[in-house]
Amino acid sequence: MQNNINILAIESSCDDTSAAVIVNGTIKSNIVANQKIHEKYGGVVPELASRAHQQNIVPVVDVALKEAGIAKTNLSAIAVTKGPGLLGSLLVGTMFAKTMALALNIPIIGVHHMQAHVLAHFIEAPKPTFPFICLTVSGGHTQLVLVKTVNNMEILGQTVDDAAGEAFDKIAKLLGLSYPGGPLLDKLAQNGNPRAFKFAEPSVPNLNYSFSGLKTSVLYFLKKQPEGFIEEHLQDLCASVQYTIVKVLMKQLLKATIKHNITNTAIAGGVSANSEFRKVFEKTGNEKGWQTYIPKFEYCTDNAAMIAISAHYQYLAKDFEDYNFIPLARCGI
């Protein structure tokens, strides 16, 4: 009789192929294969991403199982990202997971990608106390989420156009940086003056976000400058852009904590790896008396460990999918 809950988790929502194994709520392996092919195009090419997932998924799963020391015949369930994400990429992961689960005659668990980013906080201690507000920021999403329990979340606000991560990458491209530009912009900003240049700080109703106006503001500002201006002021430009994005993110988070009278706060998603965002978040938390939570770097960007921890709680709740379920490019929490 099997006593352990052994779950294989697969993440393939965008351009990273990842597999993880979780045993009784403890991550035993977390393998990620990155796709370098998109760099020369300045962004993710969906068709190329799908093909790369097809090449990577078998070896990534194999390594994850071996590193965890778990045979596939001892798996209790297989979990996979069901959305949101690039449809072609999602299909590669879900078809592989469904086929494997059917062959092993074990349940399949469909995990919501954005919920998984939030639950990445429960992979390791310290774990947030309920209720808490999580600001989840990635290349495709920017959301303020009220987390009541692991299975009960409410979106308080979200971007009405571009996500913060998308703004980082596209503005980085305007500055001549390679893809992905966000991390490079962060690195250059550390030696720049964050108040050297002032850019638009889009404001929208309620607790929502908007970043398209910021991109336009930077674009028109750069068009007015003489040749060689970007190269001469690159660090200050990066610092000023980063300062503006983080300021907008934190303004809405502060409003959310006041409106809902909550002092437990967290950040998640790929942009939560940004050094300035992490620093300002912790500084604001200290000033406001918040209890703050930030995931380890490896759990910020897309990874299967966050899918695995979500699947663990869904397994306990017997929240399984039909083998015929279809992934969705867009889906709400």
Q: Fold for 6-118+300-316, please state it.
A: Nucleotidyltransferase; domain 5 (3.30.420)
Mean pLDDT of 61-66: 98
Residues 117 and 305: their CA atoms lie apart, in Å, by 10
Domain extents for the chain?
6-118+300-316, 127-295
Residues 295 and 118: their CA atoms lie apart, in Å, by 9
Mean pLDDT of 79-102: 96
Write out the two tokens for 4.
């352990």
Could you read off the pLDDT of 183-206 as tens digits, one per residue? Answer: 999 999 999 999 999 999 988 989
Residue 167 pLDDT more than 60? yes
C-alpha 110, offset from chain centre? 17
Mean pLDDT of 290-296: 96
Residues 184 and 10: their CA atoms lie apart, in Å, by 28
SS3 63: helix
Q: Helix axis angle, 212-223 relative to 164-174, nearest 10°?
A: 10
Mean pLDDT of 296-308: 95
Could you read off the pLDDT of 249-288 as tens digits, one per residue? Answer: 999 999 999 999 999 999 999 999 999 999 999 999 999 9
Residue 308 pLDDT more than 80? yes
By C-alpha distance, which of 110, 176, 141, 99 is closest to 330? Answer: 141
Q: What is the pTM of this model?
A: 0.93
The verdict on whether omega for the bond into residue 126 sits within 30 degrees of 0, i.e. cis, is yes
Determine how β-strand 108-112 pairs with β-strand 132-137: unpaired
C-alpha 315, offset from chain centre? 22
Determine how β-strand 77-83 pairs with β-strand 6-11: parallel
Alpha helices per DSSP H over the chain: 46-68, 87-104, 113-119, 164-174, 181-189, 212-223, 229-260, 275-288, 304-316
Across all residues in the chain, what is the average pLDDT?
94
Mean pLDDT of 286-293: 98
Reported confidence tier of residue 1, pLDDT bands at 50, 70, 90: very low
* Dihedral angle sign, alpha carbons of residues 143, 296, 89, 82: negative
Could you read off the pLDDT of 3-41 as tens digits, one per residue? Answer: 899 999 999 998 899 999 999 999 999 999 876 665 665
Letter string b/e over residues 131-169, b meaning 16 or more CB atoms within 10 A of that residue's CB: bbbbbbbbbbbbbbbbbeebeebebbbbbebbbbbbbbb
| φ and ψ at residue 8, rounded to 5 degrees | -95, 130
Q: Decide whether 6-118+300-316 matches 127-295 in CATH topology.
A: yes
Write out the two tokens for 183.
């991390």
User: Among the listed ranges 29-43, 51-65, 211-225, which one has the minimum average pLDDT value?
Assistant: 29-43
Q: Helix axis angle, 212-223 relative to 229-260, nearest 10°?
A: 160
User: What's residue 187's pLDDT?
Assistant: 97
CATH of domain 127-295: 3.30.420.40
Write out the two tokens for 46.
């969906």
